[in-house]
Amino acid sequence: MSHFAEIDAEGVVLRVIVAEQEFINSQGGIWVQTSYNTHGGVHALGGVPFRKNYAGIGYIYDPVRDAFIPPRPDRATGLDEETCMWIVPAEPVGGMV
């Protein structure tokens, strides 16, 4: 069994399920496999990272990068191309600038 993300025409992840490839082949819609063990371009078990990040509802699948990108946080300053994670500045210690 594998994890698959159903995406809409704009690449937005609608749901993620665990299924056999044969089941996915019998479904309508657009399905893209995702890896539960991949985050930030690193495979947690030392394997080959797959599509940069595990998909989640609201993530975007970017076919050019072949990556799932999480929703952009309000404070994000840009996208890290290596990890496909948003760059968020650290809060100053104690809230002081």
* Residue pLDDT, tens place only, 12-45: 999 999 999 999 999 999 999 999 999 999 999 9
Distance CA 40, CA 51 (A): 9
pLDDT of 90: 84
pLDDT of 13: 98
pLDDT of 91: 73
Please report which helix (H) or strand (E) contains residue 22, including its range.
Answer: helix 21-25
**DSSP letter (8 states) at residue 53:** S
Q: What is the mean pLDDT of the chain?
A: 94
- Structure pTM? 0.87
